Amino acid sequence: MSSKTDMFIDRRRLKRHVTFWRAATIVAIVMMSVVVIGKANLIGVGRHHVALLEIEGLILSKPQREQMLYDLIENAAAVALVVRIDSPGGETAASESVYRALRAISEVKPVVVVMGSVAASGGYMAALAADRIFARESTITGSIGVVLEATNLVGLMEMMGVENETIRSGPLKAQPNLLERLTPDARAVNQRLVDDIHGMFKHMVAERRGLDPNVVEALADGRVFSGADAKSNGLIDALGGLPEARRWLEEKYAIPVTLPNQALQTFRTKHWLDWLLSTAIQKSYFAERLTLDGLVSVWHPFISNKW
């Protein structure tokens, strides 16, 4: 009797082991399928389609996004790229990086930009890479400029009786500085830096939009334009959205409007401030603004950033 009982127990145990490994195998297959499908979606491989990239919020450095764009060059299944931009700008270098990547794609397949509520400053810089730019009449764009902000706490420190001593290798090292007033020489050097990058931005506008440099000079004083004004001034090509962009691709490149759009997926790289700020604050424009450093090309109205 005991041997039969032991045999029964062994069979039950073996059955549980078989069930466990069978379930584990199924889970592993499912996970591998998800990874394979995810990679396929990430680079947009498969049947012919129009790749769709969303650029929203502040434009920050994201190496994964740039790598994904350069990978798109070799992806024959993606016959064109539509970029939807809804951004007030961001880091100047990051905006330029997006611009360069889009220009590289444009060498092998058409690139179209569709502006959302805002595509200003660095957002407009990125848009300049496109072969065709669409915007809504009420889109806020332009703001062709560069900003280098410097805050100092000298007045507050003096009120509190706190002094700062900085030992540096040269008079222009660590300027601007939060703990010191900006010296005239440092102000002049930083102004030249801003002017140099602004000149690069203006050259991009003149070259990509086919505008006379003198015309660009008048438009590049930092002002914003509605989509309608931007079209009148030659800063964009046409009014419209994604449907109009797809129709243009069909008319210009014989890419059927029936060809599906396929969204490109990007990974969001969290800034360390994201871990310190609450969820509600993380989603605010102010919180994102805190992540910016150095030269920025961003439009940031003080009353409201919602249009």
User: Catalytic site residues?
Assistant: 121, 173
- For residue 113, the surrounding DSSP H or E stretch is strand 111-120
In the three-class reduction of DSSP (H, G, I as helix; E, B as strand; rest coil), residue 61 is classed as coil
Given a contact cutoff of 8 angstroms between Cβ atoms, the answer to whether 176 and 152 are in contact is yes
Given a contact cutoff of 8 angstroms between Cβ atoms, the answer to whether 197 and 211 are in contact is no
Question: Looking at beta carbons, which pairs linking 197-206 to residues 24 or more positions away fall under 8 Å?
Answer: 197/92, 197/146, 197/295, 198/144, 198/145, 198/146, 200/96, 201/125, 201/144, 201/145, 201/146, 201/297, 202/144, 204/99, 204/125, 204/128, 205/128, 205/144, 205/235
- For residue 79, the surrounding DSSP H or E stretch is strand 78-87
CA gap 42, 142 in Å, rounded: 31
CA gap 95, 80 in Å, rounded: 21
> Which residues, in sequence order, are CB contacts of 42 under 8 Å at separation 6+?
68, 264, 265
